[in-house]
Amino acid sequence: MKQYIVDAFTEKVFAGNPAAVCIMDEWLPEDVMLDITRENNLSETAFAVKEGDHYHLRWFTPGGEIDLCGHATLATGYVIFRFIEPELEEVHFETLSGRLIVTKKGEIYELDFPAYRLNKVEVTQEMLDAVGVDIVEAYLDRDLLCVLKSEEDVRNFAPDFDKIRNLKDGLLLNITAPGSECDCVSRSFAPKLDVNEDPVCGSAHCHIIPYWATRLGKEEIVAYQASRRGGTLYCRSKGDRVVLGGKAALFSIAEIFLD
């Protein structure tokens, strides 16, 4: 079985967020897909099967299946556009988060994703202990979003993964602040899914972009994920939807040998 590794939300390899992509004729057993994911040891491996006019897409972390993943969706769209159906300019996916669309616009791949509903919550001592710096505001949906005072607080954040894993609120911890060369900067942590830091997390921006669109009073947001690898997202807030745009770079094509 062929497998592609694509660096998403970047124009060059060794940056952005790497995802493995397998486009299959039929589904493998779930335990085999999880074994492949753990063997890859990336934050996400995407599996897709063509069903009529769309693809059924599933995402796995080393800790199990997840309901939404931006960078692996972008990577899957990139593989389909480049290698599977190059005549397409739009690909539709059925997922655990409903119908998702990836549109090719030159070098940019745009993802149309559902926005999470931000529920403002009290900043607790547990949150402060896990983050280690002052938290301006905190919001909760699937993830916990903590707004920090400065870009330097985000970039210099030294995570304690045990404390983040033990946070009772949120699947991921996302931290964000205003950016100096973009609208916002952020970092995302998912030790509950056996992914300590997600280098560039698309689904996290389904929390981050609605916050900054409201805060800044603008629909179009340029976001930078300030991990070691780093990545840029060109985003639009559309009410209950978020458009996440980014580039992609192919790292490798490999053959997986299954019994």
Q: Which pLDDT does position 259 carry in this prediction?
A: 78
Task: Supply the pLDDT for residue 34.
Answer: 97
pLDDT at 21: 98
pLDDT given for residue 9 in this prediction: 95
Beta carbons within 8 Å of 181's beta carbon, 6+ residues apart: 224
- The catalytic site residues sit at 44
The model's pTM is 0.88
The domain ranges of the chain are: 2-114+245-255, 119-239
Q: Do domains 2-114+245-255 and 119-239 have the same CATH topology?
A: yes
Domain 2-114+245-255 architecture: Roll (3.10)
Q: What's the fold here for domain 119-239? A: Diaminopimelate Epimerase; Chain A, domain 1 (3.10.310)
* Mean pLDDT in order along the chain per 10 residues (259 residues): 97 96 98 97 96 97 92 97 97 95 96 94 97 97 97 97 96 97 97 93 95 97 97 96 96 94
pLDDT value of residue 127: 97
Closest CA to 23 of 83, 111, 96, 112: 83
How far is residue 7's CA from residue 85's CA, in Å, rounded to a whole number?
A: 20
* Reduced 3-state DSSP string for the chain: CEEEEEEECCCCCCCCEEEEEEEECCCCCHHHHHHHHHHHCCCCEEEEEEECCEEEEEEEECCEEECCCHHHHHHHHHHHHHHHCCCCCEEEEEECCEEEEEEEECCEEEEEEECCCCEEECCCHHHHHHHCCCEEEEEECCCEEEEECCHHHHHCCCCCHHHHHCCCCCCCEEEEEECCCCCEEEEEEEHHHCEEEECCCCCCHHHHHHHHHHHHCCCEEEEEECCCCCEEEEEEEECCEEEEEECEEEEEEEECCCC
